[in-house]
């Protein structure tokens, strides 16, 4: 027993009661009531520890900001919080068309998916389509209300002004112009038709920044049919493309990618594929996929076309005209084409009438019409009239123009004679734009009458004859904007209701063409739900060649070639920005160019040899015909040709686009094709590009395993022989994990993947991936969860290009998992390598130990940070965020999750419906977006699943399988068909 | 008493105990010299720079560093390993010389141990600082919690946590324990009340009795025995951070012994640097004699041979493995590629330069000794640079190969740790006897 010390005599009396210390019970009492004994007990110590830890926790935890979630007062019937609704709609901006599904959560669109019901776009999307949802929330660039002379105004005033201006112009005998691009919407065209009838002074100018009018005109001249035919790459055994980037930007890339890929897939059952020959100056996405790629500068390309025509004419007994000789063996090519009669497709990407006429001749002799080229159901594109704007300028100079309206067109930026247009516009008293977001033309307009974003609009589209689709709003207009067509209807006195108009128009035009539905409302609702509607047309296109057009084309081209200079330039659209109308979309700006891997920039691409010969280096600044651009050395670029991407150099588009790159539309001026470089000089050096890949050589490693069709025909394992060795020798002593339930896997068909990078943007939209800006890309910190590696092989002047999509490989023996000290990354029992963001402390060990380098680190706070002033820095921009995916904090590691939220959603859905999960129930964002179906996701444990079939393909291999990481992602070898 | 060529007298001249005490306490008892203030100013400036860099890392994020998606460890871990290496020598000195009865080392122990303590403190900063969310550093300790979260004992980083914290605690204990008799001397000679109280407190009532000494000696040996495996474990485990990974250039079994030898090597070089400075500044050449320096130089020579051998073996194994990734890392990236300058600097500094110590003249020449000791520490820094950056920057998939450039913040953090080290060492030499007086007195004749 403890020795007791006493203070007073009283204490030792038997009836002694200690004095209470304080009368009121204090919280500290529990801590003090045992301290009467002199030593501190273990319990006291623990109590003190407890209270100090508790207070430390409380103090450190009280900083979290409170965010309020406000419930619906009146709950809308159709919305279940937490469950996404999908609306079928249509994306049709510029030349881009896609039938889409808009995913909305709690009333706001957050993601665009392809509509697989569409026979035209076939469920595919493009990077622009995926990124377009961000434009909806671009509060920095979108116009929020109608503006008259710089002042906010209302729609009634505007309407009255427009009607009186148009009527007054008619009285004064002056002209009014409306500039629109080629419209694929029949209803809009109808509205415009009515407008011109009601207002005789109004003239519509159809003008495209990137025009395909020469294809239409060439068909007019050669076959007396003004059409842009549809091209069926899936029917062609031999595809010859002259500078047509048909998988990237040309005509209908989404459709063409899909069609092209069907003829490129090989399997044990089908060991045949098309052959693709590409003639081009710059290395395009399509060219990088070609079996044989011939880098030629544009003038030589024309030579080859001319000579090819003549060679074929000679072989088929058609009249031969004189043409200069080219250096290419066109004779062999001509006989190759003729050996593939009816199975050849020749396309040309130059918007040059004479070249297109010759291409028509070649296709005609190759008997492509009716086989690989469909003239019966032509594309609804290329309706621009090249003379329209010239006419506008001259009339405006004479003071004859009372008003100009710009609908979806921005000629001050992308018209080649923009300077003349600007001066001419000074003389026009009333200038209106219907731009929904800031642009250069709007700067000069005294009326800004903002159109809705397409996700807030009604509309329809006819991308090709007989194929229709509907556009429906996925949300109410965010700002005080009004759909252009609704405005036009109100000028006609019909009330601003385009919805009813379009419905009536479909009632009269579409409803009678079908016999499935007897009731229009039924028809309308079902079509609206499906998004697409097909009308069978049996227009027969019978081509009869006009040889006069050919001989004329040949002689004109011959003259043009006389002026061809030794150094020429080519402008092209790049896959991310195309014509530049979406330039203020930071996702697209940060999308690495599929070939150069440069982000946030355009540049002058030059061949390595040309650069060496002229002692210029990458990063030098070149001034070409007065336009200064940084130089990028591009393997495969034609010698003597400088390629420049359009779409950059915006000056009034918004914070993400302004002053990024240079405006290559300025190079065009009034030049005739081929475009000569009159003067170029080095005007600086040391420019640094923001590239996401800087090493382009595989260093002899079997990363992309490839082979040729001939070898593949001999053995299905061609190019993949090493796999057997790895499987046999590279194994482990430890038992491998078994997956009893699902075992998720993804297969990538390298033959179907074109490298178009749509998946990158789809993933970015789905998984809330931040944009980090040019400087941080330079620091090699891009956040994309899926990337496309691109390697060059062979000759520097004409390399083979290999694309490889790379996402987290979800290794079943993952090197990242065992090195994390806090187990923040671990393996699920379904084979998924998962990240617990809130457990991650950010040691970055997993990043180092990942052999695929697919892990990403939040180097900064990317959301709500003024230093990263992109979509995540504004309340409105953040509305695009997917509520199913966490926005990651600074300092945590993130990576591809196989869209775990979609897997979960699919499983819950199946469970709710009381059924087993089917193959195809779950599609990750990348797979959903892919226009060519190169990615297949599924359950390996389901023998019926497509992925379980594909993984047995002898072409299947795993990346770096020699280090035995056991990835869940498999690749199918790349097979090319380069046979001469 | 045995005298032999390897058990030479520790004190250069015949001195009485009193003389020894007076001479060895002179740095503590004399007026603070000007250079001390200058040194302190430099240390403080470096600390301020480091403070800014720490602040940036904590508040803005690791984006302020030069790291990339591929090179996710850079100067942080290079400097961590470098400091840990330096932090090796002190304890190694005490332990191994205690075990091998090399009593001459007694006059160097104290400083070497101080160096260890400050170096490990510097090193210990990096693992915390390099976290993406350093405020959650407690996640890496296995503490019981209601969420049933547990750490991953498979991860070498977790082993690091234990290895380093144990080593730091052990080093501090050993250092502090060894200085208790001297602190008592200081207490006895203290002239003002504050120092008397402080030294009195820290000397824990040392009375210099025989029994105290006996207990003290026993405990020294027990502590030494406990610390010996820690010396080996700490750097071995740091090496396992790399060896357990799968990266070419990291995934090699040679790394643990190689790191250990490298650590001893760099630690001894740093000891040499500091000893030369101290013996010249404090004129204690009688206590840190040329023989001491000669012995350290011989150790360095031996270390250099082992390190050189390790380099050769690494190369050979890379080639012998037949793995193209390994071969690329060693033969291309390191020896001939983007990292060849750093690589050959490393080879020169670590494997070649110390070979000059085969010459007795070089071992006797203070200037050469000093320069080579600095060269070795530069070389050892490059060794860590080579191992880290070359393996990360050019690993399996060439698509993700990146460069690596440190930023001002990276440099600032390194400078800051130098600030800690310099000011720590300066405070140490001012307020604590830099040489274990009691040990010197006990061993002044050499041997025992």
CATH number at residue A362: 3.40.228.10
Closest approach of B291 to chain A, Cα-based (Å): 45
Backbone Cα Rg of chain A = 32
The 10s digit of each residue's pLDDT in A730-782 is 888 888 888 999 999 999 999 999 999 999 999 999 999 999 999 999 999 99
Peptide bond just before A674 cis, omega within 30 deg:
yes
Listing DSSP states for A555-578 in one string gives HHHHHHHHT--SSEEEEE-BTTTB
Determine, for residues A701 and B72 on separate chains, whether the beta-carbon distance falls below 8 Å: no
The 10s digit of each residue's pLDDT in B19-36 is 888 888 887 778 888 989
Enclosing domain of residue A724: 706-976
What is the C-alpha to C-alpha distance for residues A669 and A927, in angstroms, rounded to an integer? 42
- How many interchain CB pairs under 8 A, A with B? 169
A256 & A338 share domain? yes
A613 & A731 share domain? no
User: Considering the domain boundaries, does residue A546 fall inside one?
Assistant: no
Matching residue, tokens 């085969």 = B358
Which pLDDT belongs to residue B447?
Answer: 41
User: Considering the domain boundaries, does residue B9 fall inside one?
Assistant: no
A834 & A786 share domain? yes
A724 & A678 share domain? no
Contacts of B405 in chain A (CB under 8 A): none
Res A506 pLDDT > 70: yes
User: Considering the domain boundaries, does residue B174 fall inside one?
Assistant: yes
Which pLDDT belongs to residue B213?
Answer: 87
Determine, for residues B402 and A694 on separate chains, whether the beta-carbon distance falls below 8 Å: yes
Percentage of chain A beyond pLDDT 70 is 95
For residue A77, name the pLDDT band (cuts at 50, 70, 90): confident
For residues A543-578, b (16+ Cβ closer than 10 Å) or e, as one string?
bebbeebbeebbeebbebbeebeebbbbbbbbbbbb
Which pLDDT belongs to residue B216?
Answer: 87
Contacts of A701 in chain B (CB under 8 A): 324-325, 396-398
Residues in A 947-966 with any Cβ partner in B closer than 8 A: 959-960, 962-963, 965
Percentage of chain A beyond pLDDT 90 is 66
Nearest to A780 among B62, B68, B157 (CB): B68
Res A827 pLDDT > 90: yes
Identify from A840, A845, A854 which residue to disrupt to test chain B contact, counting B C-beta atoms within 10 A and taking the largest count.
A845
Name the domain boundary from A691, A724, A749: A691
Listing DSSP states for A468-489 in one string gives EEEE--SS--SSS---HHHHHH
The 10s digit of each residue's pLDDT in A148-166 is 998 999 999 999 999 999 9
The 10s digit of each residue's pLDDT in A85-99 is 899 999 998 778 999
Enclosing domain of residue B281: 17-443
User: Considering the domain boundaries, does residue A483 fall inside one?
Assistant: no
For residue A18, name the pLDDT band (cuts at 50, 70, 90): low
A608 & A750 share domain? no
For residues A615-626, b (16+ Cβ closer than 10 Å) or e, as one string?
ebebbbbbebbe
How many CA atoms does the CB half-sphere of B56 hold within 13 Å? 18
Decide if A703 touches B, using CB distance below 8 A: yes
Determine, for residues B139 and A822 on separate chains, whether the beta-carbon distance falls below 8 Å: yes
Contacts of B157 in chain A (CB under 8 A): 819-821, 843, 845
Which pLDDT belongs to residue B23?
Answer: 80
Alpha-carbon torsion angle B167, B170, B171, B176, nearest 10: 160
Decide if A697 touches B, using CB distance below 8 A: yes
What is the distance in angstroms between the CA of the first residue and the CA of the last residue of chain B?
6
Task: List CB contacts of A518: < 8 A, sequence separation 6 or more.
Answer: none
What is the C-alpha to C-alpha distance for residues A873 and A865, in angstroms, rounded to an integer? 6
Name the domain boundary from A691, A717, A749: A691
Res A671 pLDDT > 90: no
A651 & A756 share domain? no
User: Considering the domain boundaries, does residue A528 fall inside one?
Assistant: no
User: Considering the domain boundaries, does residue B301 fall inside one?
Assistant: yes
Identify from A779, A781, A817, A863 which residue to disrupt to test chain B contact, counting B C-beta atoms within 10 A and taking the largest count.
A779
Task: Kindly report the three-state secondary structure assignment for every residue of A702-736.
Answer: CCCCEEEHHHHHHCCCCCCCHHHHHHHHCCCCCCC
Decide if A859 touches B, using CB distance below 8 A: yes
User: Considering the domain boundaries, does residue A182 fall inside one?
Assistant: no
Helix (H, G, I), strand (E, B) or coil at B186: helix
User: Considering the domain boundaries, does residue B2 fall inside one?
Assistant: no
Identify from A853, A863, A960, A967 which residue to disrupt to test chain B contact, counting B C-beta atoms within 10 A and taking the largest count.
A853
Determine, for residues B399 and A840 on separate chains, whether the beta-carbon distance falls below 8 Å: no
Contacts of A822 in chain B (CB under 8 A): 139-140, 149, 151-152
More confident of the two residues B191 and B71: B71
Which pLDDT belongs to residue A6?
Answer: 60
Partners of A971 in beta bridges: A748, A957
**Count of domains for chain A:** 3
Which pLDDT belongs to residue A705?
Answer: 93
A612 & A757 share domain? no
Kindly report the average pLDDT of chain A as a whole number.
89
Structure tokens, A266: 């090989």
Which pLDDT belongs to residue A64?
Answer: 63
Contacts of A806 in chain B (CB under 8 A): 397, 399
CATH number at residue B407: 1.20.1630.10
User: Considering the domain boundaries, does residue A477 fall inside one?
Assistant: no
Closest approach of B10 to chain A, Cα-based (Å): 47
Task: List CB contacts of A801: < 8 A, sequence separation 6 or more.
Answer: A283, A287, A288, A289, A595, A636, A755, A790, A791, A792, A793
The 10s digit of each residue's pLDDT in B296-313 is 899 899 999 999 999 999
User: Considering the domain boundaries, does residue B432 fall inside one?
Assistant: yes
User: pTM value?
Assistant: 0.89
Averaged over B69-76, what is the pLDDT? Answer: 93
Identify from A823, A837, A960 which residue to disrupt to test chain B contact, counting B C-beta atoms within 10 A and taking the largest count.
A823
User: Considering the domain boundaries, does residue B3 fall inside one?
Assistant: no
Determine, for residues A821 and B70 on separate chains, whether the beta-carbon distance falls below 8 Å: no
Residue in A closest to B126 by C-alpha: A843
Residue in A closest to B127 by C-alpha: A843
Closest approach of A505 to chain B, Cα-based (Å): 53
User: Considering the domain boundaries, does residue A49 fall inside one?
Assistant: no
Res B6 pLDDT > 70: no
User: Considering the domain boundaries, does residue A955 fall inside one?
Assistant: yes
Helix (H) or strand (E) holding A508: helix A498-509
Res B333 pLDDT > 80: yes
Averaged over A925-954, what is the pLDDT? Answer: 93
Which pLDDT belongs to residue B441?
Answer: 77
Candidate from A7-21, A711-725, A959-973, B149-163 with smallest mean pLDDT:
A7-21
CATH number at residue A951: 3.30.70.20
CATH number at residue A580: 2.40.40.20
Helix (H, G, I), strand (E, B) or coil at A971: strand
Which pLDDT belongs to residue A63?
Answer: 61
Contact A465, A378 (CB under 8 A): yes
User: Considering the domain boundaries, does residue B1 fall inside one?
Assistant: no
The 10s digit of each residue's pLDDT in A586-632 is 999 999 999 999 999 999 999 999 999 999 999 999 999 889 999 99
Closest approach of A157 to chain B, Cα-based (Å): 50
Contacts of B245 in chain A (CB under 8 A): 815, 819, 845, 848-849
Averaged over B375-393, what is the pLDDT? Answer: 92
Averaged over B54-71, what is the pLDDT? Answer: 93
What is the C-alpha to C-alpha distance for residues A192 and A491, in angstroms, rounded to an integer? 11
Determine, for residues B61 and A791 on separate chains, whether the beta-carbon distance falls below 8 Å: no
Which pLDDT belongs to residue A13?
Answer: 65
Task: List CB contacts of A904: < 8 A, sequence separation 6 or more.
Answer: none
User: Considering the domain boundaries, does residue A672 fall inside one?
Assistant: yes
A726 & A600 share domain? no
For residue A30, name the pLDDT band (cuts at 50, 70, 90): very low
A799 & A909 share domain? yes
Determine, for residues A845 and B157 on separate chains, whether the beta-carbon distance falls below 8 Å: yes
Contacts of B338 in chain A (CB under 8 A): none
A878 & A800 share domain? yes
Res A254 pLDDT > 90: yes
Averaged over A832-860, what is the pLDDT? Answer: 94
For residue A679, name the pLDDT band (cuts at 50, 70, 90): confident
User: Considering the domain boundaries, does residue B11 fall inside one?
Assistant: no
| Strands A151-152, A147-148: pairing kind | antiparallel
A822 & A939 share domain? yes
**Count of domains for chain B:** 1
Identify from B138, B251, B396 which residue to disrupt to test chain A contact, counting A C-beta atoms within 10 A and taking the largest count.
B396
A571 & A717 share domain? no
Decide if A819 touches B, using CB distance below 8 A: yes
Determine, for residues B140 and A821 on separate chains, whether the beta-carbon distance falls below 8 Å: yes
């Amino acid at each position: 027993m403890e020795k007791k010390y006493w203070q007073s005599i009283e204490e030792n009396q038997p009836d002694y009661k200690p004095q209470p210390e304080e009368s009121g019970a204090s919280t500290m009492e529990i801590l003090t009531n045992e301290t009467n004994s002199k030593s501190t007990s273990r319990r006291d110590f623990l109590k003190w520890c407890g209270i100090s830890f508790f207070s430390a926790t409380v103090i450190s935890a009280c900083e979290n900001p409170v965010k309020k979630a406000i419930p619906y007062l009146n709950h809308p019937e159709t919305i279940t919080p937490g469950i996404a609704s999908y609306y079928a709609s249509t994306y049709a901006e510029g030349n881009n068309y896609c039938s889409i599904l808009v995913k909305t959560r709690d009333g706001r669109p957050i993601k665009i998916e392809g509509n697989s019901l569409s026979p035209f776009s076939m469920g595919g999307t493009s990077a622009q389509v995926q990124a377009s949802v961000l434009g909806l929330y671009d509060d920095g660039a979108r116009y929020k209300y109608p503006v008259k002379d710089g002042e906010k105004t209302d729609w009634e005033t505007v309407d009255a002004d427009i009607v009186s201006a148009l009527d007054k112009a008619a009285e004064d005998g002056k002209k009014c112009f409306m500039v629109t691009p080629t419209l694929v919407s029949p209803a809009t065209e109808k509205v415009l038709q009515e407008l011109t009838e009601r207002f005789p002074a109004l003239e519509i100018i159809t003008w495209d920044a990137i025009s395909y009018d020469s294809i239409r005109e060439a068909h007019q001249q050669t076959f007396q049919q003004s059409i842009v035919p549809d091209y069926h790459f899936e029917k062609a055994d031999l595809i010859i493309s002259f500078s047509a980037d048909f998988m990237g930007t040309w005509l209908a890339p989404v459709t063409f990618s899909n069609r092209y890929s069907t003829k490129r897939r090989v399997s044990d059952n089908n060991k045949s594929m098309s052959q693709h020959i590409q003639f081009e100056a710059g290395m395009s996405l399509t060219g990088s996929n070609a079996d044989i790629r011939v880098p030629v500068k544009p003038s030589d390309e024309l030579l080859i076309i001319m000579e090819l025509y003549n060679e074929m004419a000679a072989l088929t007994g058609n009249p031969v005209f004189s043409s200069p000789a080219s250096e290419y063996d066109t004779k062999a090519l001509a006989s190759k084409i003729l050996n593939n009669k009816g199975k050849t497709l020749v396309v040309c990407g130059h918007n040059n009438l004479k070249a297109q006429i010759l291409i028509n001749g070649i296709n005609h002799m190759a008997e492509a019409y009716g086989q690989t080229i469909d003239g019966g159901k032509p594309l609804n594109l290329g309706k621009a009239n090249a003379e329209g704007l010239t006419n506008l300028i001259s009339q405006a100079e004479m003071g004859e123009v009372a008003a100009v309206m710009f609908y979806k067109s921005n000629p001050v930026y992308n018209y080649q004679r923009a300077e003349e247009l600007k001066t001419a516009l000074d003389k026009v008293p009333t200038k209106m734009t219907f731009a929904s977001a800031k642009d250069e033309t709007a700067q000069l307009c005294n009326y800004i009458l903002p159109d809705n974003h397409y996700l807030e609009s009604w509309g329809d589209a006819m991308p090709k004859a007989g194929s229709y689709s509907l556009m429906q709003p996925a949300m109410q207009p965010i700002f005080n904007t009004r759909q252009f067509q609704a405005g036009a209807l109100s000028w006609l006195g019909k009330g601003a209701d385009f919805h009813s108009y379009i419905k009536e128009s479909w009632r009269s035009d579409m409803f009678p063409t079908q016999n499935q539905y007897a009731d229009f409302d039924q028809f309308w609702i079902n079509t609206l739900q499906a998004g697409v509607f097909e009308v069978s047309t049996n227009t027969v296109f019978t081509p009869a060649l006009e040889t006069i057009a050919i001989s004329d084309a040949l002689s004109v081209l011959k003259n043009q070639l006389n002026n061809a200079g030794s150094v020429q330039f080519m402008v092209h659209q790049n896959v991310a920005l195309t014509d530049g109308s979406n330039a203020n979309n930071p996702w697209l700006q940060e999308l690495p160019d599929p070939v150069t891997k440069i982000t946030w920039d355009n540049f002058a691409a030059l061949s390595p040899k040309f650069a060496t010969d002229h002692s210029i280096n990458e990063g030098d600044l070149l001034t070409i015909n007065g336009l200064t651009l940084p130089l990028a050395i591009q393997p495969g670029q034609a010698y003597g040709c400088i390629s420049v991407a359009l779409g950059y150099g915006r000056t009034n588009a918004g914070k993400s686009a302004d002053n990024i790159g240079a405006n290559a539309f300025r190079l065009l001026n009034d030049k005739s094709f081929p475009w000569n470089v009159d003067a170029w000089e080095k005007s600086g050096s040391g420019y640094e590009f923001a590239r996401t890949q800087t090493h382009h050589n595989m260093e002899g490693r079997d990363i992309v395993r490839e082979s040729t069709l001939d070898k593949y025909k001999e053995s299905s394992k061609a190019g993949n022989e090493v796999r057997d060795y790895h499987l046999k020798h590279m194994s482990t002593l430890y038992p491998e994990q078994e997956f009893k339930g699902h075992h998720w896997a993804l297969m990538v068909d390298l033959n179907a993947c074109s490298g178009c990078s749509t998946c990158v943007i789809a993933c970015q939209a789905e998984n809330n991936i931040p944009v980090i800006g040019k400087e941080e890309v330079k620091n090699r910190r891009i956040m994309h969860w899926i990337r496309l590696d691109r390697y060059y092989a062979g000759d520097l002047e004409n390399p083979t290009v290999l694309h490889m999509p790379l996402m987290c490989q979800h290794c079943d023996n993952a090197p990242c998992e065992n090195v994390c000290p806090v187990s923040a990354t671990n393996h699920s029992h379904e084979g998924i390598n998962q990240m617990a963001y809130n457990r991650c402390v950010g040691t970055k060990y997993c990043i180092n130990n990942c052999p695929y380098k697919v892990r990403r680190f939040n180097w900064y706070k990317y959301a709500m940070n003024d230093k990263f002033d992109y979509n995540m820095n504004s309340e409105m921009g953040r509305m695009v965020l997917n509520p199913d995916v966490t926005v990651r904090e600074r300092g945590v590691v993130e990576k591809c999750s196989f869209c775990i939220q979609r897997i979960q959603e699919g499983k819950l859905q199946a469970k709710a419906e009381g059924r087993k999960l089917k193959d195809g129930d779950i599609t990750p964002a990348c797979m959903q977006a892919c226009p060519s179906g190169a990615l297949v996701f599924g359950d390996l444990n389901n023998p019926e699943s497509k992925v379980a079939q594909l993984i047995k393909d002898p072409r299947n291999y795993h990346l770096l399988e020699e280090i035995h990481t056991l990835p869940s992602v498999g690749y199918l070898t790349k097979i090319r068909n380069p046979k001469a | 008493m045995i005298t032999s060529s390897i058990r030479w007298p520790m004190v250069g001249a015949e001195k009485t105990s009193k003389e020894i005490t007076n001479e060895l306490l002179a740095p503590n008892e004399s007026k603070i010299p000007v250079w001390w203030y200058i040194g302190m100013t430099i240390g403080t400036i470096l600390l301020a720079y480091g403070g800014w860099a720490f602040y940036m890392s904590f508040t803005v994020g690791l984006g302020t560093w030069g790291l990339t998606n591929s090179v996710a460890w850079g100067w942080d871990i290079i400097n961590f390993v470098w400091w840990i290496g330096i932090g090796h020598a002190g304890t190694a000195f005490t332990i191994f010389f205690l075990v091998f009865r090399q009593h001459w080392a007694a006059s160097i122990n104290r400083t070497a141990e101080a160096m260890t303590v400050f170096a490990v403190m510097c090193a210990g900063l990096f693992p915390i600082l390099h976290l993406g969310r350093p405020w959650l550093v407690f996640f890496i300790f296995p503490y019981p919690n209601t969420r049933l979260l547990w750490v991953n004992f498979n991860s070498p980083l977790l082993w690091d946590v234990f290895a380093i914290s144990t080593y730091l605690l052990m080093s501090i204990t050993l250092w502090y324990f060894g200085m208790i008799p001297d602190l008592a001397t200081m207490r006895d000679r203290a002239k003002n009340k504050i120092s008397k109280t402080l030294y009195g407190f820290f000397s824990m009532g040392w009375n210099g009795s025989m029994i105290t000494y006996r207990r003290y000696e026993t405990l020294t040996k027990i502590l030494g025995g406990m610390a010996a495996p820690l010396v080996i474990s700490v750097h071995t485990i740091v090496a396992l951070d790399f060896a357990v990974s799968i990266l070419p250039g990291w995934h090699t079994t040679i790394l643990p012994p190689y790191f250990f030898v490298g650590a001893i090597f760099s630690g001894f070089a740093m000891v040499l640097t500091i000893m030369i400075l101290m013996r010249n500044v404090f004129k204690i050449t009688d206590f840190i004699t040329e023989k001491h320096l000669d012995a350290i130089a011989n150790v360095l020579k031996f270390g250099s041979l082992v390190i050189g051998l390790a380099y050769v073996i690494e190369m050979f194994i890379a080639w012998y493995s037949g793995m193209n990734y390994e071969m690329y890392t060693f033969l291309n990236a390191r020896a001939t590629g983007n990292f060849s300058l750093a690589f050959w600097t490393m080879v020169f500094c670590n494997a070649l330069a110390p070979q000059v110590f085969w010459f007795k003249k070089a071992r006797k020449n203070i200037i050469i000794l000093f320069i080579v000791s600095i060269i070795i520490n530069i070389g050892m820094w490059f060794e860590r640079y080579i191992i880290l950056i070359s393996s990360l920057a050019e690993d399996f998939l060439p698509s993700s190969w990146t460069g690596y450039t440190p930023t001002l913040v990276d440099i600032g953090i390194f400078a800051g740790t130098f600030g800690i080290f310099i000011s720590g060492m300066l405070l140490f030499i001012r307020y604590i006897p830099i040489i274990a007086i009691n040990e010197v007195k006990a061993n002044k004749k050499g041997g025992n």
